[in-house]
Structure 1
Amino acid sequence: MKHPGPLITLFAGLVLGLFMLSLNATTGEPVPSSRDRDRPAVSPSPSPSPPAPPSPSPTPPPAASPTAPTQAQAQVEFAGRTNDDTASVAISVRGDKAIAYFCDGRTREAWMRGPVEEDGDMHLTSSESGAKLDAVMTGGKVTGTVEIGEQNWPFTADKAVKPSGLYRATAQVRGAELRGGWIILQDGRQVGIVSRDGKPAAAPPIDPETGAVTVDGTQLTARPVVP
């Protein structure tokens, strides 16, 4: 009689296989083969993270608007006497421009204008009389020389605060062209000339507060000179 051991073993294997197939059908998971069971478990590779969106380009700063216009450049006035004390000189400076007036209060006068250099040097001239003023502005004052013809007058002009400074008036009076220039010094003294059709004479004083002046019976207004 043959030994039933192998048949029992085969039968047991068939039963186990049918059980595993039934279990796989129930769970939906594949039954690992004996070869797969013997392999070491391998962790699944993590899914790659989606690439980060590109950083937005930095927004450029808004274009700078044109510089707003600055306030009108301040005007600076200087007034003083020649070294020999025979005449007065007044200078109005605004930015890089200047206008000057030389006056002896009797018959000699000259209006001069020109540029002011960055270092304070100024070289002003008159197209009418050929007068010249060469000076330098430094330390709150102007020092230099006025030259008319063969004569020259060194001078010093200190900073002037209104009402001291330089004034001018023009008008037509009784058919004559009047042109007046006045210098009000820091101590209140006034020096001026009024020319009638080019003939100079001493000018009457002006009101330092309003600039009002009466010439030949006609009231005029002398105004501060602007370069």
Structure 2
Amino acid sequence: MKRSGPLLTLLGGLLLALFMLSLNATTGTRATSSSTTNDPPPASASPSRSPSPSPTRTSPSPSPTPTPPADADYTGRTDDDSAAIAVTLRDGKAVAYFCDGRDKESWLKGDVEDDGGMRLTSRDGAELNGTLKGRSVSGTVDIGGHEYGFTAPETVKPSGLYRATANVRGAEVDGGWIVLPDGGQVGILKRDGKPSTAPEIDPETGAVTVDGQQLTARPVTP
């Protein structure tokens, strides 16, 4: 009995040591496994993208504002030298006078395009189609079924277009005059609608005597 006691004690201590060793091994394995499972996976670094440059927008250049032709006066003769033409431009509008100095005349008016083109008409059905180019107006006048070509250079006062209307000795008087750059005059004076060659006016003052009565012919504007 005395010999078996120490042996049993030694055996019991050995079993206890084996049990503790086994318990520690199991606990370490579980702790490692749990730690490995719960740790989040490392975030993968996504490649950075450079911002794409914004497209460059070019602002359209503003269109030039069209301007009407400058105010001016134009006088000249028809290509066949049978009549005279005067055209007056003011603020994009025009008035014209065709006159042969005997019995054929017409007053025309209309707008002038920014490119200098114009189509002028009259109450009697006449029509002027012209173009302002450089310092002259050229085109055609269709009157009484006949077409007249013309060129009228720019002119300065006292050359230009004049008109006078009045009642003289009971008659309605209406006169039109074209004063040319060389000083020549072409005009018609109507008495109650009957045409005749007009007496000359004073270009400096516009004074003219009709049947003993003095009138004043004034520049015509649209």
Same fold (TM over 0.5): yes
1:90-149 deviations in whole A, cap 9, x for unaligned? Answer: 00000210000000000000000000001000000001x111000000111000000013
| Distance apart, 1:75 and its partner CA | 3.2
What is aligned with 2:136? 141
1:202 and 2:197 matched: yes
Match of 2:174 among 170, 173, 179: 179
The residue that corresponds to 1:114 in the other structure is 110
**After superposition, what is the alpha-carbon deviation per residue over 1:20-79, rounded to whole angstroms, capped at 9, x for unaligned?**
xxxxxxxxxxxxxxxxxxxxxxxxxxxxxxxxxxxxxxxxxxxxxxxxxxxxx9631000
- Residue aligned with 2:201, SS: coil
- Map 1:63-212 onto structure 2 (within 5 A): 75-127=71-123, 129-212=124-207
TM-score, normalised by the number of residues in structure 2 = 0.68
Q: Which has more radius of gyration?
A: 2
Cα distance, 1:214 vs. partner?
0.2
Q: Give the 3-state SS of the residue equivalent to 2:149 in structure 1.
A: strand
What's the Cα RMSD here? 1.1
CA distance in 2, matches of 1:187, 1:208: 12
% identical aligned pairs: 62
Query: Distance in 1 between the 2:152 and 2:118 partners?
Result: 14
**TM-score when scaled to structure 1?**
0.67
CA distance in 2, matches of 1:112, 1:148: 11
One-letter amino acid of the structure 1 residue matched with residue 92 of structure 2: D
Q: How many Å separate the matches in 1 of 2:211 and 2:107?
A: 23
- Indicate whether 1:214 and 2:187 are aligned: no
Alignment gaps of 5+ in structure 1: 1-72
